[in-house]
Amino acid sequence: MSNLPIQCPACKDQLKVRHLVCDVCQTQVEGRYELPLLMRLDTQEQIFLIDFIKCSGSLKDMATLMKLSYPTVRNRLDEIIDKIKQFEKTVLKESREKNK
């Protein structure tokens, strides 16, 4: 299965979910859904977070797994945290604008 596209190829804006389908009974749902926060991260960042959870949140174990130094792994995590905070701000801003 190909990777889920999260960015518009034309204007680079965040894509929304419009269409969902059940593989078993073929039921289709149409609507306008936001991508969950973690799905907005790129594939590498999602893999990083999955590995981080598998390592019970231990940066030391993560560093061993990735064969990288502790500060390099911590810096990578800090970048993802910043990105998530940025997404949260955007979501909050969008919901405020909707409510106006």
The number of residues that bind another protein (CB under 8 A) is: 16
Q: Exactly one of 66, 84, 87, 91 binds another protein (CB under 8 A); which one?
A: 66
Q: Exactly one of 51, 83, 84, 91 binds another protein (CB under 8 A); which one?
A: 51
Tell me the residue ranges of DSSP E strands in the chain: 17-21, 28-33
Q: Does 44 bind another protein (CB under 8 A)?
A: yes
For the stretch 14-43, what's the b/e string if a residue is b when 16 or more beta carbons lie within 10 angstroms of its beta carbon? eeeeeeeeeeeeeeeeeeeeeeeeeebbee
Q: Exactly one of 30, 34, 42, 78 binds another protein (CB under 8 A); which one?
A: 78
